[in-house]
Each structure stands twice: as structure tokens, then as C-alpha cells.
Chains A and B, each alone.
Chain A
């Protein structure tokens, strides 16, 4: 059987990733996101943000800034480092939301509740 020309072309020219390097990249991404959850949560608490909307927007905005910086660092080509390009934008954002909540609450409590 003969494969269709365009399909086989994409098959042969598909990126081949080294699993070790992929795991390392995912680890770096996770490390950055964890730090971000910690720092942005503390910042939101110190700023005294209140309500789901403000906190959520702040977290999304800071995640977006981090993603933009990482995007810059990949040379605007995340496909070279991640199997899917959207991994750079969404990976572990939801997973670290609880950490953001924790540090938001902690910093808010320390600064604004206990005088």
C-alpha cells in the first residue's frame, strides 16, 4: 500500500522528541508555575484583592505574563520544546490554582486581618 504523499510527508518530517528532554522541559515549566503561584498569591494578598473576580483575573493575568516571557525565551517557537504548542500556555495553570488560593489567603490574613 502506498501512503498518500502529504500524509507521509508530515509523518517523516514530524518532530522527534527526546523523552528525557521533554520531561526536563515539563519540570522547568512546573517549577516556574509553582513559583508564580506562590509569588502572585502573596502579591494578591498584600494588595488586598477581594472577591473571586479580582483574584481570578490577577492569577490569569500573571500566568499570561509568565507564558509570554517563556514564549519569548523559546524564540516564539514553543513547538521546538513542547509536543503541543499550547502546553506552554495552559500546562499546570489549573493545578497550581490551589497554591495561589492558599498564599492569597495567607498574605491577606497576615497583612489585612491581623493588624
Chain B
């Protein structure tokens, strides 16, 4: 850093007792949080009717996806008619009489209550350690010049990155311990991926993804936070999708395709017969 405009010599003790400990503590707290979340995670208690409700949606979705093409057309049409009429009648609904009533209060539903508790536990597991670390850092290490960023920042960041260091002329790239904390907070995700695996609960950013996933219908698992009226609407729209579904049997014209594999040219119009769907 010889030719820099500003040269500050930092005590190696700051590195040994502040810089590296902050990072180490944040990594270990992340690991702890991951394991604590796994301990707190209660397996969702599904009931039979709720499972049936989501399985019916999943089945309809599979049927109208390309996976349904393994069925010959009569079998496909038969399943489509059956599922569409079942959706129309609402025979797979968890409680059919609740479909028309207004949005229920999630507090009264024990399943919804449990889901809310789960979410609260997760939020607490994230907020409490981060608050503790942040107050630890501001209590002990405020006013430390910790490290120099290798990239320049504009003067606007000075108030944020050098909080506690009242030096007007110091370059913005010298930052305090709190900014090192924030850099760790956002940057340690890849380390957690490496040591804890793909879907770890250490970073806390994944929780938001999970919350967005909750809104998506038919993810396979049962969703306790859903309102009964919503499910009825999903059944209605799934019925419409089913009626619009296109079908092409995967084995149509298979003779010509197999022959082509072995180098025999078949006239395309001869092998394929048009089938009305």
C-alpha cells in the first residue's frame, strides 16, 4: 500500500483480537442457528383430508404436464373428465362447507396457529443472535478502524461506515468494526453453503424464499396457512387448465421414429396419423 495517499498502520493486535474474532463468531453463530432451527422445526402434522386436497391438485398438474403424454388418449380423457368433475363438485376439499364462507381467522384454526408459531420461532432464531452480535460489537469495538476496503466509495457512505470514528479527513475506504459486521452478514452465505450444505438455515435470507413459496399452490406438501376459500378457487382454475390441456401420446408414430434410429427413412406423412385432441 506504499503509494497510497493515506497510510495508516494498524496494530496487528486489532487483527488478532477484533477482525478475526468477529468473523469467527459470526460463522459459529450461523452454524448454531442452523442446528437450532433444525431442532425447533416441528414436523408438520398433516391430516388425511388436507393431504388428499393437495394430492389431488398435484395429480391434476402432473396429468396436464408432458408427463401425462405416456397415457393413450382415451385414458387421458377419462382421467381429465373425472378430475374436472371432482374439482367442480369440490369432493376433494378439506371441508366443503367452509368454501363459501369468508376468510377464516387463522388464530382459530389449530393448524394455522402452529404454522404461525413456527414462523415466529424462525424469526426469533434470526433476530436474537444478530441483535446480540451487533450490540457486542458496538459495545466493545466502536471506534476501531478495522480494515481498508479495496474499492472506493463515495463520501456519502462516510457517516455510515465510519460511525464512532470522528475524523473528518480520513479516507472513506477505512471502515469501522460495524461495517465489517455488515460485510460478514451478507458475505458469509457461500461459506455456510460450503460447510452446511445447500439448504441451510444459517443465513436467514432463505426464510424469505420460503415465505414466498408458501403462496405457491400445490408444492406437494400441505400448506397450513391457506384459507379454505383459496383452495376452492385453486380447484376451479385447475379445472379450467385441465380442460384446456393439450395431449399428444408419446408413442404416436413410434414405429417411424424407431426405424429412423436404425437408419431407415420413412415418409413422415405415412407414419403419423393425425389424431384429434
A contacts, CB < 8 Å to B: 1-3, 8, 11-12, 14, 16, 27, 30-31, 33-35, 37-38, 44-45, 48-52, 55, 95-96, 98-106, 108-110, 112-115
Residue among B10, B150, B188 making CB contact with A50, cutoff 8 Å: B150
Q: Are B19 and A11 in contact (CB under 8 A)?
A: no
B66 near A16 with CB under 8 A, answer yes
| Residue of B69, B150, B274 ringed by the most chain A CB atoms within 10 A | B150
Give min CB distance, B162 to chain A, whole Å. Answer: 15
Of the candidates A3, A33, A44, the one whose C-beta lies within 8 Å of that of B277 is: A3
Contact of B151 with A by CB under 8 A: yes
CB of B198 within 8 Å of the partner chain:
yes
Partner of B1, one of A34, A96, A99, A113: A113
Q: Which residue of B lies closest to A112 (CB)?
A: B1
A-B contact pairs, 20 of them (CB 8 A): A2-B276, A2-B277, A8-B246, A12-B69, A14-B66, A31-B194, A31-B198, A33-B190, A38-B191, A38-B194, A51-B151, A52-B151, A98-B183, A98-B189, A105-B147, A106-B147, A109-B15, A109-B147, A109-B148, A110-B15
Given contacts A3-B246, A114-B10, contact A105 B198 (CB under 8 A): no
Of all A-B residue pairs in the complex, the 4 with the closest CB atoms, nearest first, are A102-B187, A34-B190, A99-B190, A109-B147
In angstroms, Cα B23 to Cα A1, docked, is 63
Quick one: given A50-B151, A99-B187, A109-B147, are A1 and B277 in contact (CB under 8 Å)?
Answer: yes
Contacting pair B66 A113 (CB below 8 A): no
Residues of chain A with a CB closer than 8 A to B248's CB:
3, 8, 11-12
A35 touches B66 (CB 8 A): no
The listed residue (B10, B23, B150) touching A104 by CB distance below 8 A is B150
- Give chain A residues whose Cβ lies under 8 Å from the Cβ of B9: 115
Shortest beta-carbon distance from A59 to chain B in Å: 12
Known: A1-B277, A115-B9. A11 touches B246 (CB 8 A): yes
Interface residues of B in 187-213 (CB under 8 A from A): 187-191, 193-194, 198
Q: B183, A102: Cβ atoms under 8 Å?
A: yes
B250 on the interface (CB 8 Å rule)? yes
Q: How far is the CA of A99 from the CA of B257 in the complex (A)?
A: 50
- Smallest CB–CB gap between A35 and chain B, Å? 7
Docked-complex contact A98 and B148, CB < 8 angstroms: no
Q: Is B66 in contact with A103, judged by CB distance below 8 angstroms?
A: no
Q: Smallest CB–CB gap between A7 and chain B, Å?
A: 8
Shortest C-beta distance, B184 to chain A (Å), equals 6
A113 near B190: Cβ-Cβ < 8 Å: no
Interface string of B108-147 (1 = CB under 8 A from A): 0000000000000000000000000000000000000001
Nearest chain B CB to A79's CB is how many angstroms away? 15
Residues of B within 8 A of A112 (CB): 1, 148
Residue in A33, A35, A96, A99 with the greatest tally of chain B CB atoms within 10 Å: A99
Inter-chain contact B187/A34, CB cutoff 8 Å:
no
Scan residues 44-97 of chain B and give those whose CB is less than 8 A from a CB of chain A. Answer: 66-67, 69
